[in-house]
Amino acid sequence: MSPPFRICFVCTGNICRSPMAASVFRARIAEAGLGGLVDVSSAGLGGWFEGEEADPRTVAVLRAGGYDHTHTARRFQPSWFDRLDLVIALDSGHLRELHRLAPTARDAAKVRALRSYGADAAADGSAGGDADHGLLSAAGPGVEIGPTAGLDVPDPYYGGSARFEECLEMIEAAADGLVEAVRAAVTPGPPGHHHPEEKDSA
């Protein structure tokens, strides 16, 4: 049996956005019948909250949305790149830092912005844009997102419950596109289909 496809969601402290994204994505993967093929985790770029549970506001919006949730915060380690297939950043700052931490160019190619998989990537005009963006999303052909593309999931930590609800909505909006990208990687597809970390050669 082949090993599972491993995906890790990364935010700042691993108590708000990334555990929320991991919970949503686990649910979507299970609904898609891919639960046994995909391993979902999360981490933070900083270690301030290591060993702690998710922010109570994160837990509250997940429960209200019907998502199962258990979590212990941890810090992302560059050594993990070797065993991960996809590393999902929640905002452009995380995207830049993960690229800096990547030991190799192949590892850096595993890093993607979450909302590049959603309809917002095209709706805000960042799809297929400036070549300097340099990050090809698996959401569809020619969809690129760069550090200034405006597709961040904003940090809700200093806001109230409404900010956490907005964060969940953004994550949910991108989840289906990411599921389809991962499905293409873990199930047989037609010749020429893309792995989520692959770039077009053009």
Known catalytic residue at 124: no
List CB contacts of 91: < 8 A, sequence separation 6 or more.
11, 17, 113, 152, 153, 154, 155
Q: Which of the following is catalytic: 11, 55, 57, 167?
A: 11
Query: Which stretch of DSSP H or E encloses residue 39?
Result: strand 38-44
Q: Which of the following is catalytic: 39, 74, 124, 155?
A: 155
List, in sequence order, every residue forming a beta bridge with 144; answer none if it has no partner.
Answer: 136
Question: Which two structure tokens, joined as six digits, stand for 165?
Answer: 């609800």
Known catalytic residue at 17: yes
Task: Residue 161: count other Cβ atoms within 10 Å of its Cβ.
Answer: 12
What angle in degrees, to the nearest 10, is found between the helix axes of 161-186 and 17-31? 50
The residue length of the chain stands at 202
CA pair distance 94, 76, nearest whole angstrom? 11
Task: Residue 117: count other Cβ atoms within 10 Å of its Cβ.
Answer: 28
Torsion of CA 169, 84, 95, 74, to 10 degrees: 70
Known catalytic residue at 130: no
Which residues are known catalytic residues? 11, 17, 155
